[in-house]
Amino acid sequence: MAASDLAALADVKTWLSGSSGIGSTDDALIARLITDLSGAIAAYLGRPSLTPRAFTEQLNGNGKPRMFLEHYPALQLASLVIDNVAVPAAPLPQAGAAHARGYLLEPWNGLPPGRPQALDLFDMAFRRGRQNVVVGYSAGYAVQGEAASVPAAPGPYTVTAAAPFGPWASDAGVVYASGAALAAVAGNNPAAGQYNVSAGIYTFAAADAGAAVLLSYGFIPAAINNACIEWVAERYRYRTRIGQSAQTVQGQMTASYSLKDMPDFVRASLDPYRCVAVP
């Protein structure tokens, strides 16, 4: 499975199988279709990544106290530099008090599909200039700080991510409820203070049995995941009727097929997630 894939082979095969089942003969073909159509979906959405990653934008200052970031949902701002001068983060506003100088990122509400978020300045503005504003931030669909507990002895000491908005896609770290970070390691035998994760299943050490932890991870929104599954399945079936728009069986029943570049049901699922023009 390629890192950019938006659906899993097993899920596509389940969708295709119906009551008859589907073997492994065409696994390589289906896997290639998943990768190819995942790329087509990413291009249609106009988004380089759906899971969390770091971005650096070099923007033109507009002379105003507000700009919008291109990639969303924006999770955290790492740095803001205007005319080669670093701008600090402003503390959250307090009732009845003047807002301190600095920047604030409009928070994401945690629900897909999201939208471009505002970056606001207080007691200053984005001075006019060409590429004089440099913003470093992370963006992508993520669940942050999902509460979980490592099972008590005798184990197994595994926790499955809830992934309420779509399938788990990437690890973004685990911390104890106290805030101390655990280290990600390879293999299924982590030591105390370590964890291993694969396909959304987190494995901990026996020494951490009963510990309260917070999971953070990237996910593929369910609508996009389902659109990829259905489009792959449609293309897989298309090979048995290439170029056909209709077929009559024994002169009694006619089946019609769509020859559109993208099925309407796929487009309808994807449109709310397309990258819109930044104001």
Distance CA 180, CA 187 (A): 22
Distance CA 153, CA 183 (A): 21
Same-domain status, 35 and 86: no
Residue 153 belongs to what domain range? 142-219
Instruction: Sort strands 194-198 and 183-184 into parallel, antiparallel or unpaired.
Output: parallel
Same-domain status, 152 and 114: no
Q: Which two tokens stand for residue 63?
A: 């002379």
Within-domain flag for 212: yes
User: Mean pLDDT for the chain?
Assistant: 90
pLDDT (tens digit, 9 = 90+) per residue, 64-87?
Answer: 999 999 999 999 999 999 999 999
Within-domain flag for 265: yes
Residue 164 reports pLDDT greater than 70: yes
Same-domain status, 163 and 212: yes
- Total residue length of the chain: 279
Of the candidates 22, 8, 40, 45, the one whose C-alpha atom is nearest the C-alpha of residue 270 is 45
pLDDT band for position 279 (cuts 50, 70, 90) = very low
Of the candidates 86, 87, 78, the one whose C-alpha atom is nearest the C-alpha of residue 121 is 87
Within-domain flag for 4: no
Lowest pLDDT segment from 134-138, 165-169, 217-221, 245-249? 245-249
Question: Amino acid identity, residue 234?
Answer: E
Same-domain status, 159 and 206: yes
Residue 10 reports pLDDT greater than 70: yes
33 phi-psi bin (left φ>0, alpha ψ -120 to 50, beta other): alpha
Query: Average pLDDT in the 180-196 region?
Result: 95
> What DSSP string runs through 195-228?
EEEETTEEEE-GGGTT-EEEEEEEE--HHHHHHH
Q: Which two tokens stand for residue 136?
A: 């470093």
41 phi-psi bin (left φ>0, alpha ψ -120 to 50, beta other): alpha
Distance CA 117, CA 67 (A): 9
Q: What is the CB neighbour count within 10 angstroms for residue 200? A: 18
Domain count for the chain:
3
More confident residue, 208 or 279: 208
